């Protein structure tokens, strides 16, 4: 009996050892940022759970380098919330609308047609130049220069087309994220580490950063830059989000902020909106919460 108990303890220790080993490859590595100073988050190990655990804290705050954000965030809770947010949406939810293969294919075709024209002119001009027509010679050289530039343009466009063709897109990434995150709880050791590294790189292709704000909570940020996100409703649950637009005159692209909490409490939702209003998305539709005046007097920003 004693031995069996001892073995169970040992097994559990090894398992938690494996989990603790995760800190080297936590999913938020390089993604998590402090909302107050914009700096990176530092990982700290407070010892064995349930009392301890692995936490993220603002690196600048930790070094006493002038940031007031002293909140510590449990890494496992944050990871779970991030995965839950990403996997609760339809896989097509975070597909970008441009940057697609068809557009690029057409672009390559157009450049090829232009190059064909230039080459045809080249044949005519070379015959004229051979007849020692000086003007024709100048035009021939000019045309040859254009061909050179056009060829370079074609090469770049074809390379971009290749990249887009080989890119599975965010829908495929989300399918893989869903599969990997489901398996994550069943595997241990080396395979688990590999899965986490893969997951981390997949998430990074979709999510720009995760900000940890002591008042607003933790939220993920999707960049609206070259990409236009076609965000559709979650398959289940409610998620709060906000479209963050830079003040008038500031040339920064807008961003999509998603609170990392499924079915957030009203208070958490309002804290996240930060007096600026926001939206709540469910499978039934989207509800908007306009900016209430009494909430817009936050002073600690």
* Alpha helices for the chain (secondary structure H): 2-21, 59-62, 75-87, 101-130, 134-166, 169-183, 189-206, 266-273
Nearer to Zn ion, 67 or 220 (CB): 67
3-state secondary structure of 106: helix
Say whether residue 218 binds Zn ion (CB under 5 A). Answer: no
Out of 28, 41, 56, 67, the residue judged to bind Zn ion by CB under 5 A: 67
Residues between 68 and 107 that touch Zn ion (CB under 5 A): 69
Nearer to Zn ion, 63 or 230 (CB): 63
Q: Are 198 and 60 in contact (CB under 8 A)?
A: no
Say whether residue 32 binds Zn ion (CB under 5 A). Answer: no
CB 41 → Zn ion: shortest distance, Å? Answer: 8
Q: Are 256 and 208 in contact (CB under 8 A)?
A: no
Out of 34, 83, 222, 238, the residue judged to bind Zn ion by CB under 5 A: 34
Tokens for 136, please give them.
């024709």
- 56: nearest Cα among 178, 212, 164, 189: 212
Edge-first strand listing for the sheet containing 255-259: 32-34, 209-213, 217-223, 255-259, 239-244, 278-282, 285-289
Element (DSSP H or E) covering residue 217: strand 217-223
CB 218 → Zn ion: shortest distance, Å? Answer: 14
CB 72 → Zn ion: shortest distance, Å? Answer: 12
**How far apart are the C-alpha atoms of 288 and 301, rounded to whole Å?**
23
Nearer to Zn ion, 69 or 143 (CB): 69
259: which strand partners?
219
Tokens for 207, please give them.
């999510």
Say whether residue 41 binds Zn ion (CB under 5 A). Answer: no
Say whether residue 57 binds Zn ion (CB under 5 A). Answer: no
Q: With helix as H, strand as E and coil as C, how does 165-194 read?
A: HHCCHHHHHHHHHHHHHHHCCCCCHHHHHH
CB 212 → Zn ion: shortest distance, Å? Answer: 9
Say whether residue 220 binds Zn ion (CB under 5 A). Answer: no
Nearer to Zn ion, 111 or 260 (CB): 260
CB 43 → Zn ion: shortest distance, Å? Answer: 14
* Interface segment toward Zn ion; rule CB under 5 A; list 35-43, 77-85, 158-166, 269-277: 35-43
Nearer to Zn ion, 60 or 108 (CB): 60
* Interface segment toward Zn ion; rule CB under 5 A; list 13-21, 31-39, 189-197, 282-290: 31-39
**How far apart are the C-alpha atoms of 121 and 49, rounded to whole Å?**
75
* Interface segment toward Zn ion; rule CB under 5 A; list 8-16, 32-40, 154-162, 231-239: 32-40
Out of 27, 28, 36, 86, the residue judged to bind Zn ion by CB under 5 A: 36
Say whether residue 56 binds Zn ion (CB under 5 A). Answer: no
CB 11 → Zn ion: shortest distance, Å? Answer: 39
Out of 31, 32, 58, 177, the residue judged to bind Zn ion by CB under 5 A: 58
**How far apart are the C-alpha atoms of 201 and 24, rounded to whole Å?**
14
Q: Which residues bind Zn ion (CB under 5 A)?
A: 34, 36-37, 39, 58, 60, 67, 69
């Amino acid at each position: 009996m004693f031995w069996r108990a001892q073995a169970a303890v040992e097994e559990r220790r090894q398992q938690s050892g494996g989990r603790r080993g995760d800190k080297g490859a936590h999913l938020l590595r390089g993604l998590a940022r402090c909302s107050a100073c914009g700096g990176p988050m530092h990982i700290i190990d407070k010892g064995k759970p349930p009392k301890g655990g692995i936490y993220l804290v603002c690196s600048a705050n930790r070094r006493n380098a002038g940031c007031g954000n002293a909140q510590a965030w449990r890494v496992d809770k944050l990871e779970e919330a991030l995965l839950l947010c990403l996997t609760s949406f339809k896989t097509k939810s975070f597909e970008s609308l441009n940057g697609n293969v068809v557009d690029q294919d057409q672009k390559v075709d157009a450049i090829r047609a232009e190059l064909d024209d230039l080459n045809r002119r080249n044949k005519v001009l070379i015959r004229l130049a051979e007849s020692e027509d000086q003007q024709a010679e100048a035009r021939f050289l000019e045309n040859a220069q254009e061909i050179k530039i056009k060829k370079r343009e074609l090469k770049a466009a074809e390379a971009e087309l290749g990249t887009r063709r080989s890119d599975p897109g965010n829908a495929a990434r989300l399918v893989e994220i869903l599969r990997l995150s489901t398996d994550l709880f069943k595997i241990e050791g080396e395979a688990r580490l590999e899965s986490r590294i893969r997951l981390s790189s997949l998430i990074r292709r979709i999510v720009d950063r995760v900000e940890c704000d002591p008042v607003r909570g933790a939220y993920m940020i999707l960049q609206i830059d070259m990409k236009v996100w076609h965000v559709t409703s979650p398959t289940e649950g409610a998620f709060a989000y906000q479209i963050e637009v830079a003040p008038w005159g500031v040339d920064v692209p807008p961003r999509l902020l998603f609170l990392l909490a499924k079915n957030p409490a009203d208070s958490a939702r309002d804290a996240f909106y930060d007096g600026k209003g926001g939206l709540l998305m469910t499978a039934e539709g989207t509800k908007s919460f306009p900016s209430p005046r009494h909430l817009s007097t936050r002073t600690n920003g």
